[in-house]
Structure 1
Amino acid sequence: MRVLPPTARACVVAAVLAAAACAAPALLAGASTPWPAVALLALLYLGCELVRTRPFPGRRTPEGAGCFFPVVMAAVFLLPPSAAALVALPGGFAQSVVQRPAGVRRVWHAAQQTTAAWAAGQAYGLLGGRGTDPAARVAGFPYAMLPAAVAAVVFCLVLTALDAAVLAAAEGRPAATAWRGTAARSLVPYCVHGLAGLMMAVMWRSPYGVPAALLVLLPMYVSCWVFAQYHRERAAHRATIRALVQAVDIKDRYTRGHSERVGQASAMIARELGMGDDRLEVVRIAGILHDVGKLGVPTRLLRKDGPLTPEERRIIELHPEYGHEMVRGIGFLGEARSAILHHHERVDGRGYPYGLRGEQIPVLARVVAVADSFDAMTSTRSYSRARPVETALAELERCAGVQYDPAMVRALVDAIGRHGWHPVVTSDADLQVIPAAPAAPAAPAAPQPGPAAMPTLGGAARDPAGGGR
């Protein structure tokens, strides 16, 4: 079982206390709380979550596929804030989890959703969403559209802010970065759930009553089921990538964790270059899988401590082609395949396997080449000691325009200068979190060296094009 750090446990306890404070007024109000509506909506939300996460016996929705929130949003629009908080409680606790500790995660989800429902209800009421007649609960349509939209946004922001807080506490991630990324991706889906919840609330208070309100859930449930299928497919993709990376790590123990860190650095470069989310994910995968061809290289060469012979070097230099052949039939990798094949090319044309130069090298391959060399220089190998981040960045800048694309080098320097280098957790014992470093000072322009004088980053005798061997 994973043991949560003390700060993460404190975050969970604080969320539980906040949720209890949000729901307490409904419990203390006694008969004035609309208990039949609370019970019906809570059971409906619980049933939707159980059906969504267990559509077939023994099969669950992957964690991260999202929850079915229209019922909670309808409760926000129909009930007082504290009563809406109670509606969210059972469904939040029933949400599917795949990582341990499962009990703590369920409690966290329940507390998180309870607090978010209360906050959304407060925002909806403050903006006049319940109209002038308190008994009406829902203002006339379409006048409730604006308060409902604001309530959905508040619901989203509270959930994502709490997620960012617990991630920062449990994994040491920068809270602001995690919150911005999650909130941006979640805003539109939550607004759609809010619109469906408003339609359900309006129909609930209409002459057609509860049966008509339930009909609103059918198309929303179908769309959520399709979305869950998409997440299952993505989970299968991640499992494929994870299996390949684990196989490489087992074969080459000296670079364990290297793949994940190259993927992380590649994503930082891509983000700095302004690539969209879809392409950023592709370049991250390319970084993770760039060395998958090592599975075709004899283990004795990967683990050799002494210098490589020319013949051994030629064998190792086949690994990009091996890797491309291995992943050629995996359709979802897309553009990542070319990055795997060409990540050891050089802008001066003296790389391998095909000696491409400049713009002939695919963009993602140029990104991965810089990320690969950066991690090779800042990690301890059997044949080299780790260099400080500032030294590695200065070396990359020195070789920009000869070995690396200057734009990619500058993007990495700027990204690390702004955010620091916080390597993902790996099994490497010597990994440390590096604080944000100022941009490396400009080094004197390197002369155009001949083959014998060309710098070999990240493992001198190992790789004449830089990066890991």
Structure 2
Amino acid sequence: MEAAVPARAQGYVACVALLAVLCVLPLHATRTPWWALALLAALYAACEHAVRRRFGGTFYPVLLAGAFLLPPAAAALVPLPAALLAHVEHRPVLPRRVWRAAQPVLAVWAAAQVHWALGGRDAVVAHAFPYALVPAGAAVLAFCVVLTALDGGVLVAAERVPARRAWRGLLSRSLAPVAVHGLAGLMMAVLWRSRYGPVAALLVLLPMCVSCWVFAQYHRERAAHQATIRALVQAVDIKDGYTRGHSERVGRASVLIARELGLDDERVEVLRFAGILHDVGKLGVPTRLLRKDGPLTPEERRIIELHPEYGHEMVRGISFLGEARAAILHHHERLDGSGYPYGLAGGQIPECARVVAVADAFDAMTSTRSYSRARPVEAAVRELERCAGTHFDPRMVTALVRALRRHGWHPAVTADDAPHTVPAQQRAAGRRSGAHR
């Protein structure tokens, strides 16, 4: 249905398409090697089809090689066959197909213009290294700038994203991968102009295809990890509705603390997993105990306090979780040794567990639930600081406070607004400490 694309988005696409046509018009006045244009266009169409179908994503080396080898108006034609022949999944087809064609046409034209203006064509022909890297780098930058500018514009026009947010981070995220593709494109262009000819240039694509395959495998593995975690969290949320949404927010708070501590990206990701899965052991606790209306007996309390061990057993075989498994096991330990399941104290408690313990307590205090009202963030911070050194690691508390000042926090409701009877486990936890769940 045409209505699926807003009128102003259709107008935006039409303007971009008109600019693309204007870029191609000078073609008749250029000395274009038509066989080279046809070969590059066919090669790009084949590569784009294979990469999208098998790996996902885009494949720019051939496009950028065209920008380094052909006049701008001719280089702009290289992406056209691939865009016009590609399958369009969503309706309406016409504006989406026009957009897919016009955007790379403008980006390649801009890259070729910059490359030729800086003498890149002569540098490629003469194999003038490292000078050839300068115009090639400028061309890659122009290519990225045009792509991201157009992407941000379509977000504003089609999805009504505020202009101040539409372009945020687009250029920085795309520059590094496109730079790698640009280097491969430059190698193709240099070999194309060498005595070995176009056949040698095609060899550059082999390692790029291998790289795409490795990258796709990484993303598939990552997607599988995320699916595993989502399934476990959903199972906990279904069993214990009082903590719905709590796990995701504990993961977010754990990330804030980890980044404030200066941990590397890999450990930050592991701590996010730890926060999200910290209560997965509730799957092993009988539902009647989680939702019991009356007071817990000592035996029932002991069973509930086994949930960290249940959680650790459930994730023991999930290798990608790494030290998150220790956080799941020890996130209820306390610095003074009064926690559970093992009564560890001080440095005996793994660092990741000390991070999750603070994140867990903070979200528990700042979330509105059917059995308790949320505390203001400032009050929750005061409670954490009061318990720092006894229940919580002061370094983790300080890191969270600094992160909250920088990023803020948005408390949320984690259960239905209708009144419910408070489960015994929650009342008991509340009596023990305002911050100790």
Provide the TM-score with structure 1 as the length reference: 0.75
Q: Which moved more, 1:384-393 or 1:197-206?
A: 384-393
- Spell out the pairing of 1:5-404 with structure 2 (5 A cutoff): 16=13, 19-20=16-17, 23-32=20-29, 34=32, 37-55=36-54, 61=55, 66-81=57-72, 83-88=74-79, 113=104, 116-131=107-122, 140-156=128-144, 175=165, 179=169, 183=172, 187-304=175-292, 308-404=296-392
CA offsets per residue over residues 122-142 of structure 1, 9 Å max, x none?
44345432348xxx8887444
Measured after TM superposition, the shift of residue 17 of structure 1 is 5.7
Q: Which moved more, 1:366-375 or 1:378-387?
A: 378-387
How many residues are aligned here?
Answer: 422
**Matched AA of 1:29:** P
Q: Which moved more, 1:284-293 or 1:121-130?
A: 121-130
CA offsets per residue over residues 429-459 of structure 1, 9 Å max, x none?
88xxxxxxxxxxxxxxxxxxxxxxxxxxx95
C-alpha distance in 2 between matches for 1:94 and 1:285: 41
Measured after TM superposition, the shift of residue 197 of structure 1 is 0.7
Equivalent of residue 462 in structure 1, options 412, 421, 429: 429
C-alpha distance in 1 between matches for 2:163 and 2:364: 23
Which residue of structure 2 aligns with residue 442 of structure 1?
Answer: none
Q: SS at 2:337's partner residue?
A: coil
**Matched AA of 2:22:** P
CA offsets per residue over residues 122-166 of structure 1, 9 Å max, x none?
44345432348xxx8887444211222343345456656777888
Which residue of structure 1 aligns with residue 421 of structure 2?
Answer: none
The 1:240/1:142 distance shift into structure 2, 3 A limit, reads: same
Q: Which moved more, 1:25-34 or 1:272-281?
A: 25-34
C-alpha distance in 1 between matches for 2:91 and 2:297: 50
C-alpha distance in 1 between matches for 2:50 and 2:396: 47
Provide the TM-score with structure 2 as the length reference: 0.80
The answer on whether the counterparts of 2:334 and 2:345 sit within 8 Å (CA) in structure 1 is: yes
- 5+ residue gaps in structure 1? 56-60, 431-457
Measured after TM superposition, the shift of residue 401 of structure 1 is 1.8
Higher-Rg member (1/2): 2
The answer on whether the counterparts of 1:77 and 1:138 sit within 8 Å (CA) in structure 2 is: no
Measured after TM superposition, the shift of residue 5 of structure 1 is 12
**Matched AA of 1:146:** V
Structure with greater proportional helix content: 2
C-alpha distance in 2 between matches for 1:379 and 1:5: 39
The 1:223/1:385 distance shift into structure 2, 3 A limit, reads: same
The 1:413/1:194 distance shift into structure 2, 3 A limit, reads: same
The answer on whether the counterparts of 1:22 and 1:85 sit within 8 Å (CA) in structure 2 is: no
The 1:402/1:388 distance shift into structure 2, 3 A limit, reads: same
- Report sequence identity in percent: 64
The answer on whether the counterparts of 1:160 and 1:183 sit within 8 Å (CA) in structure 2 is: no
The 1:163/1:82 distance shift into structure 2, 3 A limit, reads: same
- 5+ residue gaps in structure 2? 418-424
The answer on whether the counterparts of 1:459 and 1:467 sit within 8 Å (CA) in structure 2 is: no
Q: Which moved more, 1:318-327 or 1:415-424?
A: 415-424
The answer on whether the counterparts of 1:345 and 1:465 sit within 8 Å (CA) in structure 2 is: no
The answer on whether the counterparts of 2:333 and 2:339 sit within 8 Å (CA) in structure 1 is: yes
CA offsets per residue over residues 18-69 of structure 1, 9 Å max, x none?
74355223332242464654443333223112222434xxxxx3x6xx4322
The 1:23/1:289 distance shift into structure 2, 3 A limit, reads: same
Which residue of structure 2 aligns with residue 449 of structure 1?
Answer: none
The 1:251/1:177 distance shift into structure 2, 3 A limit, reads: farther
Measured after TM superposition, the shift of residue 355 of structure 1 is 1.3
Measured after TM superposition, the shift of residue 117 of structure 1 is 3.8
**Matched AA of 1:48:** C
The 1:175/1:222 distance shift into structure 2, 3 A limit, reads: same
C-alpha distance in 1 between matches for 2:435 and 2:164: 28
C-alpha distance in 2 between matches for 1:18 and 1:421: 41
The 1:29/1:243 distance shift into structure 2, 3 A limit, reads: same
C-alpha distance in 2 between matches for 1:407 and 1:272: 10
The answer on whether the counterparts of 1:327 and 1:337 sit within 8 Å (CA) in structure 2 is: yes
C-alpha distance in 2 between matches for 1:20 and 1:175: 24
The 1:97/1:24 distance shift into structure 2, 3 A limit, reads: closer
The answer on whether the counterparts of 2:362 and 2:380 sit within 8 Å (CA) in structure 1 is: yes
C-alpha distance in 2 between matches for 1:235 and 1:264: 19
CA offsets per residue over residues 89-147 of structure 1, 9 Å max, x none?
6657889999x899799887766655544454444345432348xxx888744421122
What is the root-mean-square deviation of aligned Cα atoms in Å?
4.1
Q: Which moved more, 1:14-23 or 1:312-321?
A: 14-23
C-alpha distance in 2 between matches for 1:178 and 1:423: 25
